[in-house]
């Protein structure tokens, strides 16, 4: 008898499917999601489990896309109604959520040997398994439920509701209607157990539970299952995930939709690995993910979810990649809050329809997101010129983009900042405390500012980095040198050098090497009475002063001049 019934049921199912009328009802349009069940486009971790474990046993219960196939009309819509034994299933099954099919399926007579309608081993149990076949990944995520009744005990993954369970479901979720050409008509669906004797228990169109003697009419059933929370990697809003595809970590939006998709861990892809070369991520910058053990082929991606310190997913991105190993580059948005995050990296398989997705194991990487401003380099054309006693004048070319310049100097054993020049000011600086007897080393450091106004510049280590320029204090080189050829001599004149106490004249005469020729402390003129008449005489004039220690401090080097005596 049982074999005959199963064959008959199978034939009935095939016939009904071919006719396209196996659904008792079409789903009502969802009302606006209530506040208790509000969602985001993407959730994971405690944020996800807190959302899933909310008891939304109302007409606004979120719709879950799960276990869809042709036997169920390709719909696969379920309602999220409870968790850990609350809502549909009264049997305790901790660590899971309970979902209830939004559709009833025409079954025909529910029969079990003409006796009490025990569920394990019954035609109803058999047809539930037949209708709700699912992928291996979805099967891995379901938790079995133990039934104990007069017929024995059996573990099942998908089951028809019992009368007791049906009574725990909110009436709007039990209400079954069907639209046809003649308007709205009533229908009903089986519950799993009899009330007493040879009576059936079923739910009628308005959601009320009724009983009647066993009959042969074909009505439907509604299926439930438990999903293991530990097998769920992510929850996403149906139809919204595609907008996050691309190489940027995009801000995860809140969602006003009331339909979600589950992304389940794939136990056959548990060897995924990923790492970053640098765990400091720059705002507005990019970073590389090196990975292996990913899905290969089309419609696959390397994905990353950025989770803040409160455990909330804030940004998500997925780069399409068909390779099982390699490197992908992702962008960090410039408006992301600075701080410490967890970057959850994984490979996922996308499907064209909004049903269950799957992914590899995830790799959690601690990262710091911060504004990283590259400090400017070195200035061009730096110069240091003597400007008087203890004075050196510095000059340089403007550095494009600089907000200003800090001037550092090393004088003897002391290294310190000695001044600053702001943007818009001339690119010059006067060191009025320069050493005269030893070279002063100078670093002219351009700087920029970050978004908070903090100065960003390169750090100077005087032991490792050569100075931009060197110079000593002293009188600046003389200018305006003139020569006059006179009888038996060459007369030299020049403009005074500031703070000079005298001038040294060096030169070269024909046949005589470079050397001291003379000096003056009485003005800005000198006559070389030993100048050659036949060859050129070359002259250099150096200003000097005597310091407090009696040491002559020779000033800047002038350009040479030349002349012959008459």
Tokens of 78: 């379920």
In whole angstroms, give the CA distance from residue 121 to residue 2. Answer: 10
Least confident span in 74-83, 103-112, 460-469, 508-517: 103-112
Tokens of 330: 């992702």
Check: CB of residue 137 under 8 Å from CB of residue 358: yes
Verify that 101 and 167 share a domain, yes or no.
yes
pTM, two decimal places: 0.67
pLDDT in tens, 338-371: 999 999 999 998 755 456 788 999 999 999 999 9
Map tokens 């800005």 to a residue.
524
Does residue 98 fall inside a structural domain? Answer: yes
Verify that 43 and 116 share a domain, yes or no.
yes
Map tokens 């299926």 to a residue.
223
Verify that 402 and 543 share a domain, yes or no.
no
Verify that 175 and 113 share a domain, yes or no.
yes
At 143, is the pLDDT very low, low, confident or very high (cuts 50, 70, 90)?
A: confident
SS in 3 state form for 330-348? EECCCCCCCEEEEEEEEEE
Check: CB of residue 286 under 8 Å from CB of residue 249: no
Verify that 127 and 215 share a domain, yes or no.
yes
Give me the CATH number covering residue 526: 2.60.40.10
At 133, is the pLDDT very low, low, confident or very high (cuts 50, 70, 90)?
A: low
pLDDT in tens, 369-404: 999 999 999 999 999 999 999 999 999 999 999 999
Q: Which of 13, 174, 199 is nearest to 106 (CA)?
A: 13
Does residue 477 fall inside a structural domain? Answer: no
Check: CB of residue 26 under 8 Å from CB of residue 241: no
pLDDT in tens, 528-539: 999 999 999 999
pLDDT in tens, 473-524: 999 999 999 999 999 999 999 999 989 999 999 999 999 999 999 999 989 9
Question: Can you state the angle between helices 123-131 and 2-19, rounded to 10 degrees?
Answer: 40
pLDDT in tens, 85-122: 444 544 455 688 888 877 666 555 454 444 444 566 66
Verify that 201 and 288 share a domain, yes or no.
no
Does residue 154 fall inside a structural domain? Answer: yes
Q: Which domain holds residue 323?
A: 266-370
Q: Which residues of 101-133 are buried (b: 16+ CB within 10 A; e: fewer)?
A: bbbbbbbbbbbbeeebbbbbebbbbebbeebbe
Give me the CATH number covering residue 346: 2.60.40.1930
Verify that 41 and 166 share a domain, yes or no.
yes
pLDDT at 74 over 50: no
In whole angstroms, give the CA distance from residue 540 to residue 543. Answer: 10
pLDDT in tens, 395-450: 999 999 999 999 999 999 999 999 999 999 999 999 999 999 899 999 999 999 99
Of 451, 471, 491, the residue at which a domain comes to its end is: 471
Does residue 55 fall inside a structural domain? Answer: yes
- Say how many domains are in the chain: 4
Of 471, 492, 526, the residue at which a domain comes to its end is: 471
Verify that 404 and 360 share a domain, yes or no.
no
Does residue 249 fall inside a structural domain? Answer: no
Verify that 366 and 305 share a domain, yes or no.
yes
Of 471, 495, 519, the residue at which a domain comes to its end is: 471
Label residue 497 left, alpha or beta by phi (over 0 means left) and psi (-120 to 50 means alpha): beta
Task: Identify the pLDDT of residue 114.
Answer: 45
């Amino acid at each position: 008898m049982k074999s005959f019934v199963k064959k008959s049921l199978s034939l009935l199912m095939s016939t009904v499917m071919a006719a396209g009328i196996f659904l008792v009802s079409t789903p009502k349009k969802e009302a606006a999601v209530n506040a208790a069940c509000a969602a985001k486009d993407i959730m994971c971790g405690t944020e996800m489990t807190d959302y899933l474990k909310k008891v939304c046993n109302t007409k606004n219960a979120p719709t879950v896309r799960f276990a869809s196939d042709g036997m169920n009309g390709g719909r696969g819509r379920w309602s999220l109604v409870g968790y850990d034994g609350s809502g549909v299933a009264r049997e305790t099954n901790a660590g899971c959520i309970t979902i209830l099919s939004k559709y009833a399926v025409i079954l025909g007579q529910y029969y079990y040997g003409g006796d009490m309608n025990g569920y394990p081993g019954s035609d109803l149990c058999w047809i539930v398994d037949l209708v709700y076949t699912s992928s291996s990944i979805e099967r891995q995520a379901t938790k079995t439920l133990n039934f104990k009744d007069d017929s024995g005990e059996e573990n099942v993954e998908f089951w028809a509701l019992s009368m007791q369970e049906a009574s725990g479901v909110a009436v709007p979720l039990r209400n079954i209607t069907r639209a046809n050409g003649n308007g709205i008509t009533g229908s009903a669906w089986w519950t799993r157990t009899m009330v007493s004797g040879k009576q059936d228990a079923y739910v009628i169109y308005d959601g009320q539970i009724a009983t009647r003697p066993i009959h042969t009419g074909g009505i439907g059933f509604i299926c439930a299952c438990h999903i293991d929370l530990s097998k769920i990697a992510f929850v996403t809003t149906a139809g919204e995930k595609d907008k996050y595809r691309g190489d940027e970590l995009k801000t995860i939006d809140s969602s006003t939709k009331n339909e979600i998709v589950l992304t389940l861990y794939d136990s056959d892809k548990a060897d995924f690995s990923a790492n970053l070369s640098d765990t400091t991520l720059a705002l507005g910058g990019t970073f590389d993910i090196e990975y292996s053990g990913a899905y290969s082929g089309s419609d696959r991606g390397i994905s990353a979810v950025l989770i803040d310190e409160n455990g909330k997913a804030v940004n998500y991105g997925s780069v399409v990649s068909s390779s099982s190993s390699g490197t992908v580059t992702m962008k960090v948005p410039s408006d992301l809050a600075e701080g410490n995050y967890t970057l959850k990296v994984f490979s996922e398989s996308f499907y064209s329809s909004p049903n269950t997705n799957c992914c590899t194991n995830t790799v959690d990487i601690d990262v710091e997101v911060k504004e990283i401003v590259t400090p400017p380099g070195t200035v061009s054309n730096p110069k240091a010129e003597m400007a008087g006693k203890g004075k050196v004048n510095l000059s340089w070319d403007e550095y494009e983009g600089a907000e200003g310049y800090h001037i550092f100097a090393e004088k003897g054993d002391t290294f310190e900042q000695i001044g600053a020049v702001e943007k818009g000011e001339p690119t010059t600086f006067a060191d009025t405390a320069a050493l005269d007897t030893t070279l002063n080393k100078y670093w002219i450091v351009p700087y920029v500012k970050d978004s908070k106004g903090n100065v960003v510049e390169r750090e100077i280590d005087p032991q490792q980095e050569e100075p931009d320029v060197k110079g000593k204090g002293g009188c600046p080189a003389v200018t305006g040198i003139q020569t006059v050829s006179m009888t038996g001599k060459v007369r030299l004149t020049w403009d005074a050098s500031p703070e000079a106490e005298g001038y040294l004249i060096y030169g070269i005469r024909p046949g005589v090497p470079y050397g001291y020729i003379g000096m003056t402390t009485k003005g800005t003129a000198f006559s070389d009475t030993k100048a050659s008449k036949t060859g050129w005489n070359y002259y250099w004039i150096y200003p000097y002063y005597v310091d407090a220690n009696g040491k002559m401090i020779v000033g800047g080097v002038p350009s040479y001049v030349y002349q012959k005596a008459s």
